[in-house]
Homo-oligomer: A and B are copies of this chain.
Amino acid sequence: MDEVKWLSNDEQVAWRAWLAVNAQLTARMNRDLQAKNGLSLADYDVLVNLTDVPDRSLRMFELGDKLQWEKSRLSRQVMRMAARGLVERRECLDDRRGAFVDLTPAGLEAIRAAAPEHVKLIRQVMFDAFTPDEVATLTKLYHGVLERLEVKPVEAAADGSAA
């Protein structure tokens, strides 16, 4: 009844490679961003999501949906970023529970400064070595995983700017 179907050897190799890429690449992005631009990956992700959007402003919960973060995490993250001047909080008049987060000029400058190096790294370790077919396969597989995790797939920005 509860026979376990273990991973085949090939699957296990793939799985461990996945875990390793996952951990190493995340760590690397964090280190590079921190060293070169004084941003954490979390900072970067917030900035990207604000830059993506026409008026560079989002309700907290919208940002939270995009990032799929715990709301407490977002709350603290925004607080810290506001203290550093990267974003600004603005109260919402329609719904007095709510709050907007606006990208500041300093925040825009910060991501404009950070993005090129960041994209370069991603290209270097991933996309420059992948064929279009491989990219398509990856996308298909990832989206499948997201569906099975019951998370909605993510869209791209209108201009492919911010990675």
Contact = CB atoms under 8 A, between A and B. Distances in A.
A7 B141 contact: no
A144 to B, nearest CB: 5
Contact of A7 (B13, B22, B122, B125): B122
A18 B146 contact: no
Interface of A: 2, 4-26, 28, 45, 68, 115-116, 119-120, 122-127, 129-130, 132, 134-139, 141-146, 148-149, 151, 153-157, 160-161, 163
B154 A5 contact: no
Protomer copies: 2
Nearest to A29: B19
A114 to B, nearest CB: 12
A6 B160 CA distance: 7
Contact of A6 (B26, B28, B144, B163): B163
A45 B28 CA distance: 20
A18 B135 CA distance: 11
